[in-house]
Amino acid sequence: MISFRLNGQMQQVDVPGDTPVLWVLRDTLGMTGTKFGCGIAVCGACTVHIDGEQRRACVTPIESVAGQQVTTIEAIGGDRIGLAVQDAWVKHDVVQCGYCQSGQIMAAVALLKTNPKPSDADIDAAMSANLCRCGTYVRIHAAVKDAASALA
Amino acid sequence: MGARFAWDASWASSGSSFLASPCATACTAVLGLAAAVALVLFAPPALAAEAPGNFHPTPISATPNRQDGLAAFAQLERVLRHPRCLNCHVPDSPLQGDFSRLHYPPVQRGVDGKGVAPLQCATCHSTKNSPLPHAPPGLETDGKPGWHMPPANMKMNWVGLRGAALCKVFREPKTNGNRSLAMLEQHMLTDHLVAWGWSPGPGRALPPLDKAAFDEQVRTWIRNGAPCDATEPLRKSVGTTKAEAARDVADHLRALASNDQHLPRSQP
Protein backbone atom coordinates (compact mmCIF):
# COMPACT_ATOMS: atom_id res chain seq x y z
CA MET A 1 0.00 0.00 0.00
CA ILE A 2 1.50 3.35 -1.02
CA SER A 3 0.32 6.55 0.64
CA PHE A 4 0.59 10.07 -0.68
CA ARG A 5 -1.43 13.27 -0.69
CA LEU A 6 -3.41 13.81 -3.86
CA ASN A 7 -4.77 17.31 -4.32
CA GLY A 8 -4.67 17.85 -0.57
CA GLN A 9 -6.32 14.58 0.44
CA MET A 10 -4.61 11.48 1.77
CA GLN A 11 -4.67 8.72 -0.79
CA GLN A 12 -3.64 5.08 -0.57
CA VAL A 13 -3.21 2.77 -3.52
CA ASP A 14 -2.42 -0.91 -3.64
CA VAL A 15 -0.35 -1.20 -6.81
CA PRO A 16 3.19 -2.34 -7.64
CA GLY A 17 5.71 0.32 -6.67
CA ASP A 18 7.00 0.79 -10.19
CA THR A 19 3.55 1.66 -11.57
CA PRO A 20 3.76 5.09 -13.18
CA VAL A 21 1.86 7.84 -11.38
CA LEU A 22 -0.08 8.42 -14.60
CA TRP A 23 -1.45 4.87 -14.53
CA VAL A 24 -2.45 5.28 -10.90
CA LEU A 25 -4.24 8.54 -11.61
CA ARG A 26 -6.08 7.41 -14.70
CA ASP A 27 -6.65 3.69 -14.18
CA THR A 28 -6.63 3.17 -10.42
CA LEU A 29 -8.23 6.41 -9.32
CA GLY A 30 -10.21 7.29 -12.45
CA MET A 31 -8.80 10.81 -12.65
CA THR A 32 -8.48 11.29 -16.38
CA GLY A 33 -7.65 14.97 -16.48
CA THR A 34 -3.96 14.14 -16.75
CA LYS A 35 -3.34 12.83 -20.24
CA PHE A 36 -1.29 10.03 -21.73
CA GLY A 37 0.65 11.48 -24.65
CA CYS A 38 3.93 9.90 -25.64
CA GLY A 39 4.54 7.73 -22.57
CA ILE A 40 8.24 8.58 -22.59
CA ALA A 41 8.33 11.99 -20.89
CA VAL A 42 8.84 13.87 -24.11
CA CYS A 43 5.53 15.61 -24.81
CA GLY A 44 4.50 16.94 -21.39
CA ALA A 45 0.82 15.98 -21.62
CA CYS A 46 1.07 14.03 -18.35
CA THR A 47 2.60 16.82 -16.29
CA VAL A 48 1.67 16.91 -12.61
CA HIS A 49 3.24 18.68 -9.65
CA ILE A 50 5.09 16.69 -7.00
CA ASP A 51 5.67 18.80 -3.92
CA GLY A 52 5.16 21.83 -6.13
CA GLU A 53 7.60 20.87 -8.88
CA GLN A 54 6.49 19.70 -12.28
CA ARG A 55 7.05 16.03 -13.09
CA ARG A 56 6.19 13.75 -15.98
CA ALA A 57 3.71 11.32 -14.48
CA CYS A 58 4.26 8.74 -17.23
CA VAL A 59 7.81 7.96 -16.06
CA THR A 60 7.43 8.64 -12.34
CA PRO A 61 7.07 5.44 -10.28
CA ILE A 62 4.33 5.74 -7.70
CA GLU A 63 6.69 4.48 -4.98
CA SER A 64 8.85 7.57 -5.52
CA VAL A 65 6.03 9.92 -4.50
CA ALA A 66 5.14 8.12 -1.26
CA GLY A 67 4.45 10.69 1.42
CA GLN A 68 4.55 13.56 -1.04
CA GLN A 69 1.98 16.00 -2.35
CA VAL A 70 0.72 15.27 -5.86
CA THR A 71 -1.24 18.02 -7.55
CA THR A 72 -3.10 17.40 -10.78
CA ILE A 73 -5.01 19.49 -13.27
CA GLU A 74 -8.22 18.77 -11.35
CA ALA A 75 -7.00 20.92 -8.44
CA ILE A 76 -4.73 23.41 -10.14
CA GLY A 77 -7.38 26.13 -9.93
CA GLY A 78 -7.28 25.92 -6.17
CA ASP A 79 -4.93 28.84 -5.73
CA ARG A 80 -4.65 32.28 -7.25
CA ILE A 81 -1.89 31.38 -9.68
CA GLY A 82 -3.72 28.36 -11.03
CA LEU A 83 -6.92 30.36 -11.24
CA ALA A 84 -5.20 33.20 -13.09
CA VAL A 85 -3.77 30.74 -15.62
CA GLN A 86 -7.17 29.12 -16.15
CA ASP A 87 -8.77 32.54 -16.63
CA ALA A 88 -6.09 33.54 -19.11
CA TRP A 89 -6.57 30.27 -20.99
CA VAL A 90 -10.26 31.01 -21.37
CA LYS A 91 -9.68 34.66 -22.24
CA HIS A 92 -7.24 33.77 -25.02
CA ASP A 93 -9.26 30.79 -26.16
CA VAL A 94 -6.04 28.82 -26.09
CA VAL A 95 -7.42 25.34 -26.52
CA GLN A 96 -7.86 23.74 -29.91
CA CYS A 97 -8.13 19.97 -29.60
CA GLY A 98 -7.22 20.30 -25.94
CA TYR A 99 -5.29 17.09 -25.47
CA CYS A 100 -2.03 18.74 -24.38
CA GLN A 101 -3.65 21.52 -22.40
CA SER A 102 -3.64 19.85 -18.99
CA GLY A 103 0.11 19.59 -19.22
CA GLN A 104 0.44 23.07 -20.68
CA ILE A 105 -1.46 24.58 -17.76
CA MET A 106 0.54 22.60 -15.21
CA ALA A 107 3.75 23.83 -16.83
CA ALA A 108 2.50 27.41 -16.93
CA VAL A 109 1.60 27.34 -13.25
CA ALA A 110 4.97 25.83 -12.38
CA LEU A 111 6.62 28.67 -14.28
CA LEU A 112 4.65 31.43 -12.57
CA LYS A 113 5.24 29.93 -9.14
CA THR A 114 8.99 30.14 -9.65
CA ASN A 115 9.12 33.22 -11.85
CA PRO A 116 6.19 35.61 -11.35
CA LYS A 117 7.44 38.03 -14.00
CA PRO A 118 8.74 35.87 -16.83
CA SER A 119 10.21 37.48 -19.92
CA ASP A 120 9.22 36.26 -23.36
CA ALA A 121 12.38 34.17 -23.40
CA ASP A 122 11.57 32.72 -19.98
CA ILE A 123 8.12 31.69 -21.18
CA ASP A 124 9.49 30.13 -24.35
CA ALA A 125 12.13 28.21 -22.41
CA ALA A 126 9.82 27.01 -19.67
CA MET A 127 7.06 25.95 -22.05
CA SER A 128 9.41 24.37 -24.59
CA ALA A 129 9.05 20.93 -23.03
CA ASN A 130 5.30 20.79 -23.68
CA LEU A 131 4.30 19.92 -27.21
CA CYS A 132 1.07 20.95 -28.93
CA ARG A 133 0.23 19.28 -32.22
CA CYS A 134 -2.40 21.90 -32.95
CA GLY A 135 0.28 24.58 -32.79
CA THR A 136 -1.39 26.78 -30.21
CA TYR A 137 1.98 28.02 -29.00
CA VAL A 138 1.31 31.68 -29.76
CA ARG A 139 -1.89 31.63 -27.71
CA ILE A 140 -0.21 29.68 -24.92
CA HIS A 141 2.55 32.27 -24.78
CA ALA A 142 0.06 35.14 -24.70
CA ALA A 143 -2.01 33.49 -21.98
CA VAL A 144 1.01 32.88 -19.76
CA LYS A 145 2.05 36.48 -20.19
CA ASP A 146 -1.46 37.69 -19.45
CA ALA A 147 -1.71 35.52 -16.34
CA ALA A 148 1.57 36.95 -15.08
CA SER A 149 0.25 40.48 -15.62
CA ALA A 150 -2.99 39.66 -13.83
CA LEU A 151 -1.04 38.37 -10.85
CA ALA A 152 1.32 41.35 -10.64
CA MET B 1 43.72 23.80 3.52
CA GLY B 2 45.17 21.43 0.92
CA ALA B 3 43.75 18.01 0.32
CA ARG B 4 42.44 17.74 3.86
CA PHE B 5 39.40 19.77 2.97
CA ALA B 6 39.17 18.82 -0.65
CA TRP B 7 35.46 18.22 -1.07
CA ASP B 8 32.36 18.57 -3.10
CA ALA B 9 32.48 21.92 -4.85
CA SER B 10 29.50 23.79 -3.51
CA TRP B 11 30.01 22.54 -0.01
CA ALA B 12 33.73 23.25 0.01
CA SER B 13 33.31 26.97 -0.42
CA SER B 14 30.94 27.36 2.49
CA GLY B 15 32.83 24.86 4.62
CA SER B 16 36.23 26.44 4.14
CA SER B 17 34.98 29.96 4.74
CA PHE B 18 33.38 28.77 7.94
CA LEU B 19 36.61 27.18 9.06
CA ALA B 20 38.59 30.26 8.12
CA SER B 21 36.49 32.35 10.47
CA PRO B 22 36.70 30.83 13.94
CA CYS B 23 33.81 31.64 16.19
CA ALA B 24 33.92 35.02 17.79
CA THR B 25 33.54 35.19 21.54
CA ALA B 26 29.80 35.24 21.33
CA CYS B 27 29.83 31.94 19.49
CA THR B 28 29.31 29.18 21.98
CA ALA B 29 30.64 25.66 22.00
CA VAL B 30 27.09 24.49 21.48
CA LEU B 31 26.96 26.19 18.12
CA GLY B 32 30.25 24.66 17.10
CA LEU B 33 29.23 21.20 18.15
CA ALA B 34 25.87 21.59 16.48
CA ALA B 35 27.63 22.55 13.28
CA ALA B 36 29.95 19.56 13.58
CA VAL B 37 27.06 17.20 14.12
CA ALA B 38 25.14 18.79 11.27
CA LEU B 39 28.10 18.43 8.95
CA VAL B 40 28.42 14.77 9.76
CA LEU B 41 24.71 14.02 9.68
CA PHE B 42 23.78 16.14 6.68
CA ALA B 43 26.61 15.34 4.34
CA PRO B 44 26.32 16.77 0.82
CA PRO B 45 24.21 14.84 -1.68
CA ALA B 46 27.25 13.57 -3.55
CA LEU B 47 28.21 11.60 -0.46
CA ALA B 48 24.91 9.84 -0.33
CA ALA B 49 25.39 8.81 -3.94
CA GLU B 50 28.69 7.10 -3.25
CA ALA B 51 28.75 3.97 -1.14
CA PRO B 52 31.12 4.74 1.74
CA GLY B 53 31.10 1.17 3.03
CA ASN B 54 34.04 -0.94 2.04
CA PHE B 55 35.95 1.46 -0.14
CA HIS B 56 39.69 1.38 0.38
CA PRO B 57 41.76 3.67 -1.79
CA THR B 58 44.42 2.19 -3.99
CA PRO B 59 47.83 3.23 -2.69
CA ILE B 60 50.49 4.48 -5.04
CA SER B 61 53.05 1.82 -5.72
CA ALA B 62 56.53 2.06 -4.25
CA THR B 63 57.76 1.43 -7.78
CA PRO B 64 55.29 3.19 -10.06
CA ASN B 65 55.54 2.62 -13.77
CA ARG B 66 54.70 5.71 -15.78
CA GLN B 67 54.09 3.82 -19.00
CA ASP B 68 51.64 1.49 -17.31
CA GLY B 69 49.87 4.51 -15.80
CA LEU B 70 49.67 6.31 -19.13
CA ALA B 71 48.40 3.16 -20.81
CA ALA B 72 45.69 2.85 -18.14
CA PHE B 73 44.58 6.43 -18.64
CA ALA B 74 44.42 5.87 -22.39
CA GLN B 75 41.84 3.20 -21.64
CA LEU B 76 40.01 5.45 -19.18
CA GLU B 77 39.91 8.19 -21.77
CA ARG B 78 37.90 5.97 -24.10
CA VAL B 79 35.21 5.86 -21.42
CA LEU B 80 35.42 9.49 -20.35
CA ARG B 81 34.90 10.63 -23.93
CA HIS B 82 31.97 8.30 -24.47
CA PRO B 83 28.55 9.99 -24.69
CA ARG B 84 27.39 8.28 -21.47
CA CYS B 85 29.92 10.45 -19.64
CA LEU B 86 30.62 13.35 -21.95
CA ASN B 87 27.01 14.39 -22.58
CA CYS B 88 26.91 16.06 -19.17
CA HIS B 89 30.58 17.09 -18.91
CA VAL B 90 29.96 20.05 -21.17
CA PRO B 91 30.48 23.82 -21.14
CA ASP B 92 26.83 24.73 -20.76
CA SER B 93 23.63 22.85 -21.53
CA PRO B 94 23.72 19.05 -21.65
CA LEU B 95 23.81 16.90 -24.75
CA GLN B 96 21.86 13.70 -25.23
CA GLY B 97 21.93 10.37 -26.99
CA ASP B 98 24.65 8.34 -28.63
CA PHE B 99 25.26 11.13 -31.13
CA SER B 100 25.51 13.83 -28.46
CA ARG B 101 22.80 15.97 -29.95
CA LEU B 102 21.58 19.14 -28.31
CA HIS B 103 19.34 18.28 -25.41
CA TYR B 104 15.60 18.46 -25.88
CA PRO B 105 14.08 20.35 -24.17
CA PRO B 106 16.65 23.17 -24.07
CA VAL B 107 17.34 22.93 -20.36
CA GLN B 108 20.01 24.88 -18.56
CA ARG B 109 22.56 23.67 -16.06
CA GLY B 110 21.46 25.80 -13.10
CA VAL B 111 23.58 26.60 -10.07
CA ASP B 112 23.45 23.10 -8.65
CA GLY B 113 23.57 21.23 -11.95
CA LYS B 114 19.95 20.14 -11.55
CA GLY B 115 18.41 22.56 -14.02
CA VAL B 116 16.60 25.84 -13.64
CA ALA B 117 13.07 25.79 -12.24
CA PRO B 118 10.51 25.17 -13.49
CA LEU B 119 12.36 22.98 -16.00
CA GLN B 120 14.70 20.84 -13.93
CA CYS B 121 16.39 17.54 -14.62
CA ALA B 122 13.86 15.87 -12.33
CA THR B 123 10.98 17.14 -14.44
CA CYS B 124 11.64 14.35 -16.93
CA HIS B 125 14.39 12.21 -15.35
CA SER B 126 12.68 10.21 -12.64
CA THR B 127 14.02 7.72 -10.12
CA LYS B 128 14.67 4.89 -12.55
CA ASN B 129 15.18 4.19 -16.21
CA SER B 130 12.05 3.77 -18.26
CA PRO B 131 11.82 0.38 -19.96
CA LEU B 132 10.90 2.20 -23.16
CA PRO B 133 13.45 3.38 -25.73
CA HIS B 134 13.94 7.15 -26.10
CA ALA B 135 12.57 7.94 -22.63
CA PRO B 136 14.82 10.04 -20.40
CA PRO B 137 16.95 7.85 -18.14
CA GLY B 138 16.56 8.09 -14.40
CA LEU B 139 18.17 7.19 -11.14
CA GLU B 140 17.41 7.55 -7.49
CA THR B 141 19.30 9.42 -4.80
CA ASP B 142 17.87 9.01 -1.32
CA GLY B 143 14.46 8.19 -2.72
CA LYS B 144 14.32 11.27 -4.95
CA PRO B 145 15.15 11.79 -8.62
CA GLY B 146 18.93 12.10 -8.66
CA TRP B 147 19.76 13.05 -12.23
CA HIS B 148 22.16 15.98 -12.47
CA MET B 149 25.20 17.40 -14.20
CA PRO B 150 28.19 19.13 -12.61
CA PRO B 151 27.33 22.37 -10.82
CA ALA B 152 27.91 25.81 -12.30
CA ASN B 153 30.94 26.53 -10.12
CA MET B 154 32.65 23.30 -11.15
CA LYS B 155 31.53 22.42 -14.65
CA MET B 156 34.11 19.69 -15.18
CA ASN B 157 33.89 20.34 -18.90
CA TRP B 158 35.71 17.74 -20.97
CA VAL B 159 34.46 18.72 -24.42
CA GLY B 160 37.32 19.01 -26.90
CA LEU B 161 39.88 17.62 -24.47
CA ARG B 162 42.06 14.61 -25.18
CA GLY B 163 45.09 12.89 -23.76
CA ALA B 164 47.12 14.84 -21.24
CA ALA B 165 44.77 17.84 -21.29
CA LEU B 166 41.77 15.69 -20.39
CA CYS B 167 43.82 13.75 -17.86
CA LYS B 168 44.85 16.87 -15.98
CA VAL B 169 41.34 18.30 -15.85
CA PHE B 170 40.17 14.89 -14.63
CA ARG B 171 42.90 14.60 -12.02
CA GLU B 172 43.32 18.07 -10.56
CA PRO B 173 41.08 19.01 -7.62
CA LYS B 174 40.52 22.52 -8.90
CA THR B 175 38.82 21.13 -12.01
CA ASN B 176 37.48 17.75 -10.86
CA GLY B 177 35.14 18.75 -8.05
CA ASN B 178 37.80 19.22 -5.36
CA ARG B 179 38.57 15.53 -5.31
CA SER B 180 41.82 14.03 -4.15
CA LEU B 181 42.96 10.94 -6.06
CA ALA B 182 41.36 8.81 -3.35
CA MET B 183 38.08 10.67 -3.72
CA LEU B 184 38.32 10.48 -7.49
CA GLU B 185 38.79 6.73 -7.30
CA GLN B 186 35.85 6.43 -4.93
CA HIS B 187 33.73 8.52 -7.28
CA MET B 188 34.64 6.39 -10.29
CA LEU B 189 34.19 3.08 -8.49
CA THR B 190 31.16 3.70 -6.30
CA ASP B 191 29.12 6.70 -7.49
CA HIS B 192 25.75 5.53 -8.71
CA LEU B 193 25.56 8.11 -11.50
CA VAL B 194 28.91 6.91 -12.84
CA ALA B 195 27.65 3.33 -12.57
CA TRP B 196 24.51 4.31 -14.46
CA GLY B 197 26.73 4.61 -17.55
CA TRP B 198 26.78 0.81 -17.64
CA SER B 199 23.03 0.48 -17.02
CA PRO B 200 21.71 3.25 -19.25
CA GLY B 201 18.40 1.69 -20.21
CA PRO B 202 17.27 0.49 -23.62
CA GLY B 203 18.68 1.92 -26.80
CA ARG B 204 21.82 3.51 -25.41
CA ALA B 205 25.33 2.37 -26.25
CA LEU B 206 27.54 1.13 -23.45
CA PRO B 207 31.01 2.57 -22.81
CA PRO B 208 33.85 0.74 -24.55
CA LEU B 209 35.09 -0.95 -21.36
CA ASP B 210 32.87 -2.86 -18.98
CA LYS B 211 32.59 -1.48 -15.46
CA ALA B 212 34.97 -3.98 -13.89
CA ALA B 213 37.63 -3.27 -16.51
CA PHE B 214 37.10 0.46 -16.09
CA ASP B 215 37.52 0.18 -12.33
CA GLU B 216 40.70 -1.82 -12.78
CA GLN B 217 42.15 0.80 -15.15
CA VAL B 218 41.37 3.50 -12.57
CA ARG B 219 43.28 1.52 -9.96
CA THR B 220 46.17 0.88 -12.33
CA TRP B 221 46.44 4.55 -13.25
CA ILE B 222 46.49 5.62 -9.60
CA ARG B 223 48.79 2.79 -8.49
CA ASN B 224 51.31 4.05 -11.04
CA GLY B 225 51.29 7.65 -9.86
CA ALA B 226 48.33 8.97 -11.89
CA PRO B 227 50.51 10.22 -14.75
CA CYS B 228 49.12 12.49 -17.44
CA ASP B 229 52.22 13.02 -19.55
CA ALA B 230 55.79 11.85 -19.95
CA THR B 231 57.51 14.54 -17.94
CA GLU B 232 55.64 15.74 -14.88
CA PRO B 233 56.43 14.18 -11.48
CA LEU B 234 54.34 11.18 -10.55
CA ARG B 235 51.93 11.58 -7.68
CA LYS B 236 53.23 10.23 -4.38
CA SER B 237 50.00 10.40 -2.34
CA VAL B 238 46.34 9.76 -3.05
CA GLY B 239 45.20 12.21 -0.37
CA THR B 240 42.22 11.66 1.88
CA THR B 241 39.05 9.74 1.24
CA LYS B 242 35.70 11.40 1.75
CA ALA B 243 35.21 9.61 5.05
CA GLU B 244 38.62 10.78 6.28
CA ALA B 245 37.94 14.33 5.16
CA ALA B 246 34.57 14.25 6.95
CA ARG B 247 36.25 13.11 10.14
CA ASP B 248 38.88 15.85 9.78
CA VAL B 249 36.22 18.51 9.41
CA ALA B 250 34.23 17.20 12.37
CA ASP B 251 37.36 16.99 14.53
CA HIS B 252 38.34 20.50 13.54
CA LEU B 253 34.93 21.86 14.45
CA ARG B 254 34.89 20.00 17.75
CA ALA B 255 38.28 21.51 18.53
CA LEU B 256 36.94 24.96 17.69
CA ALA B 257 33.92 24.35 19.87
CA SER B 258 36.11 23.13 22.68
CA ASN B 259 38.30 26.22 22.44
CA ASP B 260 35.25 28.44 22.49
CA GLN B 261 34.28 27.10 25.89
CA HIS B 262 37.38 28.76 27.30
CA LEU B 263 36.76 32.10 25.64
CA PRO B 264 35.05 34.92 27.55
CA ARG B 265 31.49 35.51 26.50
CA SER B 266 30.65 38.89 25.02
CA GLN B 267 28.77 41.21 27.30
CA PRO B 268 25.10 41.80 26.51
Q: What percentage of chain B reaches a pLDDT higher than 70?
A: 77
Of the candidates A35, A52, A71, which is a domain's last residue? A71
Same-domain status, A26 and A62? yes
| Residues of chain A found within 8 Å of residue B128, distances taken between Cβ atoms | 18, 61
| Residues of chain A found within 8 Å of residue B135, distances taken between Cβ atoms | 39-42, 59
Residue A71's pLDDT is 98
- Could you give the number of structural domains in chain B? 1
CA-nearest residue to A129 within chain B is B105
Which of B102, B104, B112, B126 would you mutate first to test chain A, the one with the most A CBs within 10 A? B126
Q: From the CA of A33, how many Å to the nearest CA of chain B? A: 19
Same-domain status, A109 and A62? no
In a domain, B32, yes or no: yes
pTM for the model: 0.83
| Residues of chain A found within 8 Å of residue B130, distances taken between Cβ atoms | 40-41, 59
Query: What integer is the mean pLDDT of A13-40?
Result: 98
Q: From the CA of A8, how many Å to the nearest CA of chain B? A: 21
Residue A83's pLDDT is 98
Same-domain status, A57 and A94? no
Same-domain status, A39 and A63? yes
Residue B259's pLDDT is 75
Same-domain status, A117 and A135? yes
- Could you give the number of structural domains in chain A? 2
Residue B256's pLDDT is 84
Which of A19, A59, A68 would you mutate first to test chain B, the one with the most B CBs within 10 A? A59
Which residues share a beta bridge with B95? Answer: B102
What is chain A's percent helix, strand, coil content, to nearest 5? 45, 15, 40
Q: Which domain holds residue B13?
A: 2-54+242-257
| Residues of chain B found within 8 Å of residue A59, distances taken between Cβ atoms | 124, 126, 130, 135-136, 138
Query: What is the ipTM score, two decimals?
Result: 0.95
- CB atoms closer than 10 angstroms to residue B88: 24
Residue B255's pLDDT is 84
For B122-164, the pLDDT digits (tens) are 999 999 999 999 999 999 999 899 999 999 999 999 999 999 9
Q: Tell me how far apart the alpha carbons of residues B136 and B194 are, in angstroms, rounded to a whole number.
A: 16
Q: Strand runs (DSSP E) across A32-102, as ranges? A: 47-50, 53-56, 69-71
Say yes or no for a CB contact (<8 Å) between A53 and B117: yes
Same-domain status, A86 and A57? no
Contact of A81 with A149, CB cutoff 8 Å: no
CATH number at residue A85: 1.10.150.120
Containing A145, the helix (H) or strand (E) segment is helix A137-151
Residue A148's pLDDT is 98
Q: Considering only the beta carbons, identify the residue of A39, A60, A129 that sits closest to B132.
A: A39
The pair phi, psi for residue B49, each rounded to 5°, is -80, -10
The pair phi, psi for residue B259, each rounded to 5°, is -60, -35
| Residues of chain A found within 8 Å of residue B117, distances taken between Cβ atoms | 53, 110, 114-115
Q: Tell me how far apart the alpha carbons of residues B266 and B264 are, in angstroms, rounded to a whole number.
A: 6
In a domain, B74, yes or no: no
In angstroms, the Cα distances linking B49 to A131, B162, B190, B191 are 33, 28, 8, 6
Of the candidates A14, A40, A71, which is a domain's last residue? A71
Q: Considering only the beta carbons, identify the residue of A39, A59, A110 that sits closest to B118.
A: A110
Q: Which domain holds residue A43?
A: 2-71
CATH number at residue A12: 3.10.20.30
Q: Considering only the beta carbons, identify the residue of A42, A64, A113 that sits closest to B127.
A: A64
In a domain, B33, yes or no: yes
Residue type, B29: A
For B34-92, the pLDDT digits (tens) are 444 444 333 443 444 666 568 899 999 999 999 999 999 999 999 999 999 999 999 99
CA-nearest residue to B130 within chain A is A59
The DSSP symbol for A10 reads E
| Residues of chain B found within 8 Å of residue A61, distances taken between Cβ atoms | 126-128
Provide the total of helices (H) and of strands (E) in chain B, helices listed first.
11, 6
Residue B145's pLDDT is 96
Give the residue numbers in A contacting B (CB under 8 Å), as ranges. 18, 39-42, 53-56, 59-61, 64, 107, 110-111, 113-115, 125-126, 128-129
